[in-house]
Amino acid sequence: MIRIISGTHKGRRIRAPKNLPVRPTTDRAKEALFNILAPVIDWQQARVLDLFAGTGNISYECASRGGSEITAVDADPGCVAFMRKTAASLDMPIHAVKSDSLAYLQHAARKFHFIFGDPPYDLDAGGLGELVCAVFDRDLLETDGLLVLEHTKDHDLAHLTGFEQARRYGGTVFSFFRKA
């Protein structure tokens, strides 16, 4: 069950099909993340990219807070269909794209103010580093743009380009990267 924490859809619960291959961000971790982002991101002006979007949990939260240009990328056709249906039913400006997230980054034609990535937890540190490199090598963040990757405590990404900080919430870690 997905719960939208704040904004125009605050408190709304969304039931995702059980057969989707996802591990949604927990409410506790998501609330902590958005508390950090609140003073930093102007949702009404921000272009958002949600990589490995799964059910669209993060995208719905961004849209509820006023996000008007959100791209949600996932390789699973069931996830993409669910996000499209849910975004349409809630009248949210989410464009769901069926693509491998790294491949999407290699061909992205615009910059974003906020990029969130929640890759499978079995992705190794090299794969996480490849995502960060793709964002910075392709210059996909706006000035003062923010990249956040969700991963396990088993990975330390402090050595990667643009690393700013890591925050841990139970078994979930958010690593923050900023374009200088």
> Higher model confidence: residue 125 or residue 9?
9
C-alpha separations of 106 from 109, 132, 133, 135, 139 in Å: 9, 12, 11, 9, 11
User: Rounded mean pLDDT of the chain?
Assistant: 94
Q: Which of 95, 101, 93, 92 is nearest to 74 (CA)?
A: 101
**Mind listing the pLDDT tens digit for each residue in 56-107?**
999 999 999 999 899 999 999 999 999 999 999 999 999 999 999 999 999 9
Q: Give the per-residue pLDDT at 134.
A: 96
Residue 67: both structure tokens together: 């996000």
Mean pLDDT of 20-38: 91
Q: Give the per-residue pLDDT at 25.
A: 86
Q: Give the per-residue pLDDT at 136.
A: 96
All domains of the chain in start order, with CATH: 2-178 (3.40.50.150)
Whole-structure pTM value:
0.96
